[in-house]
């Protein structure tokens, strides 16, 4: 593949749906590593197999931490405009009845983790999607909305799933046109902060299930959300 023209290599790498393959290509050759930095979209999802191997004493040392793979991909990127990370569906269905997990190796909306990779690409990003691991995120309140809104001034699309979110410190995001919240816990005292800080007119609130103790109905009304076809909302 090193003999192919760089534009063709870039086209091939840009078509990879799983950026784990992109990470492998980076270590395969110098040419691939150079071109990989030009890919505009990074998509990485932790598989059930990777998760189980990372928890086993027999295989833990053989597995590169998921967060490290992602941060390395982002840090080597020069043109990334879209990032998507999360856990695959088999992991999303796990509960405390299935497994006890007090670690944070897959707490993907954690501010400390997001702060490791976001600032270097924030100015270019148009889309962010984070699907957290509910077992690790449900009891950890995250202020990732504040971090994203303070860094990503050109963001158009934001998708957050399976997380406990705070709106504390949220600032205006005038460019944002699409917000997707799925299985999120929003229990701040005033959910209207999402509206008061410039988030009016956001569309596509898809497949959302909210755990909100108060303020939810007024929040939705003021936000002027346009629900997507097939929307299912549940107040938990």
**Which tokens in the block code for residue 127?**
């889309």
Q: How many residues does the chain have?
A: 236
75-116 per-position pLDDT tens digit: 989 899 999 999 987 676 665 555 666 788 999 999 999 999
pLDDT at 104: 86
Rounded CA separation 197/108 (Å): 24
Contact between 184 and 163 under an 8 Å Cβ cutoff? The reply is yes
Separation CA 112–CA 67 (nearest Å): 11
Q: Does domain 42-235 have CATH number 3.40.50?
A: no
Predicted TM-score (pTM) of the model is 0.79
Instruction: Return the number of other C-beta atoms located less than 10 Å from residue 100's C-beta.
Output: 7
For tokens 């691939």, name the residue.
32
Burial of 197 (0-12, 13-18, 19+ CB in 10 A): middle
What pLDDT, on a 0 to 100 scale, did the predictor assign at position 147?
96
Q: Residue 106: name the closest of 142, 47, 66, 145 by CA.
A: 66
Task: Tell me what pLDDT residue 5 has.
Answer: 80
Every domain of the chain and the residues it spans: 1-39, 42-235
Contact 119/151 with Cβ under 8 angstroms?
A: yes
Return the SS3 of 108.
coil
Q: What is the CA radius of gyration of the chain?
A: 19
Q: Cα(194)–Cα(140) distance, rounded to whole angstroms?
A: 20
Q: What is the mean pLDDT of the chain?
A: 77
d(CA 30, CA 208): 44
User: What pLDDT, on the 0 to 100 scale, is given for residue 101?
Assistant: 65
> Across residues 172-177, what is the average pLDDT?
79
Beta bridge partners of 83: 42, 128
In degrees and rounded to multiples of 5, residue 144 shows phi and psi of -65, -30
Q: What is the pLDDT of residues 34-51, one digit of tens each?
A: 888 888 999 999 988 898
Most confident by average pLDDT, 109-113, 158-162, 183-187, 228-232: 109-113
In eight-state DSSP terms, residue 228 is P
């Amino acid at each position: 593949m090193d003999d192919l023209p760089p534009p063709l290599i870039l086209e091939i790498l840009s078509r990879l749906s799983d950026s784990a393959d992109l990470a492998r290509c980076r270590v395969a050759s110098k040419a691939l590593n150079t071109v990989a930095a030009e890919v505009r979209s990074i998509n990485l999802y932790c598989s059930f197999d990777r998760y189980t191997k990372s928890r086993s004493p027999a295989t833990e040392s053989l597995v590169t931490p998921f967060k490290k793979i992602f941060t390395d991909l982002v840090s080597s990127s020069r043109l990334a405009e879209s990032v998507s990370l999360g856990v695959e569906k088999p992991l999303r269905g796990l509960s405390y009845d299935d497994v006890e997990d007090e670690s944070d190796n897959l707490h993907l909306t954690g501010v400390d983790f997001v702060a490791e990779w976001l600032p270097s690409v924030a100015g270019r990003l148009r889309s962010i999607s984070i699907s957290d691991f509910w077992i690790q995120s449900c009891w950890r309140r995250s202020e990732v909305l504040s971090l994203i809104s303070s860094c990503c001034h050109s963001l158009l699309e934001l998708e957050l799933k399976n997380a406990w979110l705070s709106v504390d410190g949220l600032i205006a995001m005038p460019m944002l046109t699409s917000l997707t919240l799925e299985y999120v816990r929003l229990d701040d005292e005033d959910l209207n902060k999402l509206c008061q800080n410039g988030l009016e007119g956001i569309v596509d609130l898809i497949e959302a299930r909210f755990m909100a103790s108060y303020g939810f109905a007024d929040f939705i009304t003021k936000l002027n959300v346009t629900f997507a076809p097939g929307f299912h909302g549940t107040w938990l």
